[in-house]
Amino acid sequence: MHICQMRNWYNVDKDGLCKRVLEIDSRIRFAGLINENGKLVVGGMKPGFKSLEDSTNNEMLYIELVMGAKMRTDLDKVFGPVKFAMSYRDMLIMMIFPVNGDMLLISVEKEVDFFKLPFKILETINNQN
């Protein structure tokens, strides 16, 4: 089953998903679900972390992420659906996971094991009821 086609998505505790993702690793800074309109639906910064950008930049980032995710679906028929995308930046690592039309955005400290963390997050997403 494609990660974006989870059964009973509307019965899933979206806030609970974000909280469970934040608990996976102490270096995860942010977990939030962004809808197809580029709006944060649920989630946010982990207590103790401060956002590196202001709220205006957040809105632009969310819209950019949604547009990029839509563009990546053009190759689904050739390569299969995207499970996640990752950006390694100077200040942090950002990961995006398609979840039934929404995008689960994760930001994490660069010291994290980015070879293992995305697969732990995928497992958490897939274990939703």
Q: Where are the domains of the chain?
A: 3-126
CB 129 within 8 A of CB 120: no
Percent of the chain with pLDDT over 70: 88
34: enclosing H helix or E strand: strand 28-34
For 108-128, what is the mean pLDDT?
94
pLDDT, tens digit, 9 for 90 and up, residues 17-28: 999 999 999 999
The class that CATH gives domain 3-126 is alpha beta
Tokens for 2? 């494609």
104: enclosing H helix or E strand: strand 102-108
Q: To the nearest whole number, what is the mean pLDDT of the chain?
A: 86
Alpha helices in 7-111 (DSSP H): 14-24, 55-72, 76-79
Fill in the amino acid letter for 90: D
